């Protein structure tokens, strides 16, 4: 049973909204079907049991004062508790914002204020309570932070929305607003491509604060399949699910796991790849294990995957999935169609993200080659490291606040595991030395997420690189970095 009919909440005869998990739980044929396996706890939930858990979370949120149209922020790593609160917030008609737990408390507070969040919940790592009958009992734990704002947008319908952060070159990341219909529309095309149906399982292998993690949830709900939550041995959990989403860093480690453990008891049949350029060597090695991989391209603003294909020997990402449209304007890729967001949340309203022609201008460079799209890079300076978007200007702005920094540029260097990692070329007011660098690294350690902290520092010779120009070009900086790295 696929939810072809549930592109938005349905109504009971009583007039109350009904969501996908409630539809399955109310079905005599499906209520006892397994909906979720939590490998971290060894728990299994039917659709009826899952809907009950979500309902209990919804009651808890209501008791804390959350109302339809208000903002709910969830900050933590993937867990059953976090997932239930995510769905419960939507069931209540709230705007649900996911926040990376690597963000500093100050950044978390600023994001909550900017996005009119009334209640923020911080999910902590589970704690062992003790041993009973030879097994550890794990306590799920979270802390709630009611905030001053009780903002409800008067000009918006009191419908559930997700807010997903996307990086920007300046300031805090923007929140992209999707309704449930957009998530389901995106899910449909991916399920068709990957042959994902009710008899399959998908591992929640990517964080819920990313659109890629949310995409997994909506494919599961669209198909009425099983969702798996990972155990401490992440790659053993990958091997248990029929379908998995991985970034190249994870794929490389999973291949190492297969090489060590062998293919015995491996259920994985389909792996959807994304997050950065996907090395052909990895997809070719995966094919040797009899696992079908898909090379994809997606955007937060489009609710996840837009282009995808079965991986082959070419660098392209295939063709647009069902109901997605694209244009190439010069070298820039424009998009619209299934999954397109309502807009960006800004000062209590939703600001459109499309241009006057109704297209999303992606700032990605692309070309059409031999019947498929090939992504060439960015028109701006953003790059991807281990599946995380990194905007150099954000890191540069923070480093500039450190006393004694004259000028700094952050650039990507290629990395076999993460795709790319940030590196800094820096000029201090005094001479460049490692004592200064080490002081900067210590100062930076709690100012920005770890994955954004440069992995190496090199002296910046501004006069040499500028040579009479108004400013130093990043192309020249990248060429200088290649020389410094010796390749």
List the chain pLDDT tens, one digit each, 487 residues.
444 444 344 433 334 568 999 999 999 999 999 999 999 989 999 999 999 999 999 999 999 999 999 999 999 999 999 999 999 999 999 999 999 998 889 999 999 999 999 999 999 875 444 334 334 344 457 888 888 777 776 666 778 999 999 876 556 789 999 999 999 999 999 999 999 999 999 999 999 999 999 999 999 999 999 999 999 999 999 999 999 999 888 898 999 999 999 888 899 999 999 866 677 778 888 988 999 999 999 999 999 999 999 998 788 899 999 999 999 999 899 999 999 999 999 988 999 999 999 999 998 889 999 999 998 877 888 888 988 888 888 898 889 889 888 889 999 999 988 889 999 999 898 889 999 999 999 999 999 899 999 999 999 987 666 544 445 777 788 888 888 887 5
Residue 3 included in any domain: no
For residues 237 and 142, membership in a common domain is answered with yes
Q: Of the residues 339, 359, 378, which one is the last residue of a structural domain? A: 378
In a domain, 356, yes or no: yes
Cα dihedral across residues 291, 235, 218, 45: positive or negative: positive
CB of 459 closer than 8 Å to CB of 432:
yes
**Within a domain: 5:** no
- What is the predicted pLDDT for the residue at 203? 98
Residue 430: strand, helix, or coil: coil
Bridge partners of residue 459, in order along the sequence: 426
- Asked if residue 172 and residue 71 are part of one domain, the reply reads yes
Inter-residue contact 324 to 339 (CB < 8 Å):
yes
Q: Are residues 26 and 115 in the same domain?
A: yes
Task: Assess whether 263 and 305 both reside in one domain.
Answer: yes
268 contact partners, CB below 8 Å, separation of at least 6: 238, 239, 241, 242, 243, 244, 291
Residue 262 and residue 289: Cα distance in Å, rounded?
9
Looking at the structure, tell me whether residues 365 and 400 fall in a common domain.
no
Which domain range does residue 441 map to? 384-485
Give me the pLDDT at residue 283, please. 86
**Residue-level pLDDT at 172:** 75
The domain tally of the chain equals: 2
Dist CA 174 CA 361 (whole Å)? 16
CATH of the domain at 78: 3.40.50.12780
Residue finishing a domain among 320, 349, 378: 378
pLDDT at 462: 72
Note whether 129 and 234 are same-domain residues.
yes
Question: Looking at residue 169, what is its pLDDT?
Answer: 53
Q: In the prediction, which pLDDT does 455 show?
A: 95
- 291 and 418 assigned to the same domain: no
Pair 394, 353 in one domain: no
- Beta pairing, strands 135-146 & 174-179: unpaired
User: Based on the domain organization, do 276 and 319 belong to the same domain?
Assistant: yes
Same structural domain for residues 268 and 133?
yes
Confirm whether 466 is domain-assigned. yes
Note whether 202 and 229 are same-domain residues.
yes
Strand order in the sheet with 174-179: 135-146, 117-132, 71-75, 95-99, 161-166, 174-179, 343-346, 349-351
**Residues in a beta bridge with 123:** 142
Q: 374 and 390 share a domain?
A: no
Strand-pairing partners, residue 145, are 120
Answer whether residue 4 is part of any domain.
no
407: domain CATH number?
Answer: 3.30.300.30
Q: Which residues of 413-431 are buried (b: 16+ CB within 10 A; e: fewer)?
A: beeeebbbbbbbbbbbeee
The whole-number pLDDT of residue 470 equals: 44
pLDDT confidence of residue 321: 97
CA atoms of 364 and 389, how far apart (whole Å): 13
């Amino acid at each position: 049973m696929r939810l072809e009919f549930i592109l938005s909440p349905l109504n009971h005869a009583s007039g109350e909204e009904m969501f996908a998990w409630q539809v399955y739980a109310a079905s005599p044929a499906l209520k006892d079907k397994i909906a979720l396996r939590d490998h971290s706890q060894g728990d299994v939930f039917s659709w009826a049991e899952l809907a009950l858990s979500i309902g209990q979370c919804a009651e808890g949120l209501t008791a804390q004062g959350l109302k339809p149209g208000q903002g709910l922020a969830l900050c933590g790593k993937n867990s059953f508790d976090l997932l239930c609160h995510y769905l419960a917030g939507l069931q209540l008609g709230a705007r649900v914002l996911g926040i990376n737990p690597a963000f500093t408390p100050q950044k978390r507070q600023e994001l909550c204020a900017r996005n009119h969040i009334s209640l923020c919940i911080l999910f902590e790592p589970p704690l062992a309570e003790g041993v009973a009958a030879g097994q550890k009992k794990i306590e799920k734990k979270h802390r709630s932070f009611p905030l001053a704002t009780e903002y409800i947008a008067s000009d918006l319908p009191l419908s559930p929305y997700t807010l997903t952060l996307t990086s920007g070159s300046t300031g805090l990341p923007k929140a992209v607003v999707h309704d449930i219909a957009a998530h389901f529309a995106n899910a449909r095309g991916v399920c068709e491509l990957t042959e994902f149906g009710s008899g399959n399982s998908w591992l929640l292998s990517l964080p819920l604060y990313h659109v890629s993690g949310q995409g997994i949830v909506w494919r599961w709900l669209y198909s009425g399949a099983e969702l798996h939550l990972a155990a401490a041995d992440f790659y053993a959990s990958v091997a248990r699910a029929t379908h998995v989403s991985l970034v190249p860093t994870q794929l490389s480690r999973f291949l190492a796991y297969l090489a060590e453990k062998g293919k015995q008891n491996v259920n994985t049949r389909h792996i959807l790849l994304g997050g950065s350029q996907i090395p052909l060597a990895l997809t070719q090695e995966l094919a040797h294990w009899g696992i079908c991989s898909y090379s994809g391209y997606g955007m937060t603003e489009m609710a996840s995957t837009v282009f995808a294909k079965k991986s082959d020997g070419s660098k392209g990402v295939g063709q647009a999935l069902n109901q997605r449209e694209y244009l190439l304007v010069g070298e820039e890729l424009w998009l619209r169609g299934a999954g397109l967001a309502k807009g960006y949340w800004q000062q209590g309203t939703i600001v459109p993200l499309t241009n006057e022609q109704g297209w999303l201008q992606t700032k990605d460079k692309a070309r059409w080659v031999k019947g498929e799209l090939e992504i060439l890079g960015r028109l701006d300076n953003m790059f991807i490291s281990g599946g995380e978007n990194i905007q150099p200007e954000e890191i540069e702005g923070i480093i500039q606040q450190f006393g004694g920094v004259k000028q700094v540029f952050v650039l990507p260097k290629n990395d076999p595991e993460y795709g790319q990692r940030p590196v800094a070329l820096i000029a201090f007011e005094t001479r460049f030395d490692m004592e200064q660098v080490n002081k900067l690294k210590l100062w930076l350690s709690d100012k920005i997420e770890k994955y954004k902290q440069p992995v190496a520092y090199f002296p910046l010779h501004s006069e040499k690189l500028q040579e009479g120009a108004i400013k130093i070009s990043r192309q020249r900086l990248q060429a200088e970095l290649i020389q410094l790295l010796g390749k």
